Amino acid sequence: MRSRRRWRPRRPTGAADVRSGFVTLVGRPNVGKSTLVNQIVGTKVSIVSARPQTTRTAVRGVRTTPDSQIVLLDTPGVHRPRTLLGERTNQRAVGTLAEVDAICHVIAANEAIGRGDEFVARAVHEVGTPAILVVNKTDVADRAAIADHLASASTKLGEYAAYVPVSARTGDGVDALVGELEACLPEGPLYYPEGTVSDQPESVLAAELVREKLLVIARDELPHSINATGELIEPEPGENPDVLRIRVVIRVERDSQKGIVIGRRGVVLRDAGTAARRELEALLGTRVYIETKVRVDPHWQRRAASLDRLGL
């Protein structure tokens, strides 16, 4: 029997039943899972980057309507790992499959169905959870490619409860996908109060946004071996208690990478922090102060102790 306790907060009592449950999005890196989560939720809860394997933890986004609540897990892209971090992120993604009510297996319409997609499909079918195949990026693929994916998917990837073409970027087809997901969910009360869009702490959101902005600003120089963690800072006497204060620590593997993250005269780190602060203020509806620091942690992706400390 599949255990589902791990992913669920305590159900509230006295709440009216709706269609409610947990849905995980899985697929190869860079197929658009994070963008799709943001589009379904209706606001940004997961960072987006053109670089593969940007998502490292199972991010939760929440979409609530009068008839349903869908709790979305945006998992790391399943890939051939080269580091201990890669092995752990793969395990994290596959590990969600048996602990949810429905699965979205996301593939890219503008790329041929390959071995990576087939590997994910096998893992999906092994658990027996209702699964939907989502053919994403229809806005950048021609109609022939989309039709070919839909026609050949059952042969190459196996049978799914539904096959839904979407564009996570434009939102085209997302309403149809939501309808299919709602049909897969059991009846039950809300897991989260209305108005909740994510259960990530503010400190985690801040750290992820800073990492996203660094990947955008220094995309041609910055290596993938960068991580960011956040912690809340208690206001000092005399400081405005209404300002949310967060310290974000960025970790790199070499001293040369530290210089890239900081930038000449601190411009790169300053701009990333400013962009993250503005986005977090818009999301939370409150004033935010972000303090940033950069530390060198050699080979952190390959050391179990470093990954354990970072919660990865």
Q: What H or E segment, with its residue span, contains residue 277? A: helix 267-284
Q: Give every CB contact of residue 235 below 8 A, 6+ residues apart in sequence.
A: 241, 243, 245
Strand 288-296, strand 102-108: pairing: unpaired
Q: How confident is the model at residue 78 (pLDDT cuts 50, 70, 90)?
A: low
Q: Are 306 and 227 in contact (CB under 8 A)?
A: no
- Strands of the 227-232 sheet, one edge to the other: 227-232, 244-252, 288-296
**Domains of the chain, first to last:** 5-188 (3.40.50.300), 202-310 (3.30.300.20)
pLDDT at 52: 47
Which residues is 102 bridged to in the sheet?
23
Residue ranges of alpha helices (H) inside 51-136 are 84-95, 115-127
Query: pLDDT tens digits for 207-237?
Result: 888 888 888 776 656 656 678 888 888 888 8
User: At residue 71, does pLDDT exceed 90?
Assistant: yes
pLDDT at 306: 60
User: At residue 18, does pLDDT exceed 70?
Assistant: yes
Q: Are 206 and 273 in contact (CB under 8 A)?
A: no
The residue-averaged pLDDT of 143-148 equals 88
Q: How large is the greatest C-alpha to C-alpha distance in the chain, in angstroms?
A: 66
Angle, nearest 10°, between helix axes 143-157 and 115-127?
Answer: 50
pLDDT at 242: 85
In 3-state terms, what secondary structure has residue 102? strand
Most confident of 13-17, 23-27, 163-167: 163-167
Report d(CA 222, CA 215) in Å as an integer: 7
Q: Are 200 and 38 in contact (CB under 8 A)?
A: no
User: At residue 261, does pLDDT exceed 90?
Assistant: no
Q: Are 221 and 263 in contact (CB under 8 A)?
A: no
Token pair 């026609």: residue: 151
Q: What is the per-residue burial (b if ≥16 Cβ within 10 Å, else e) of 117-137?
A: bebbbebbbeeebbbbbbbbb
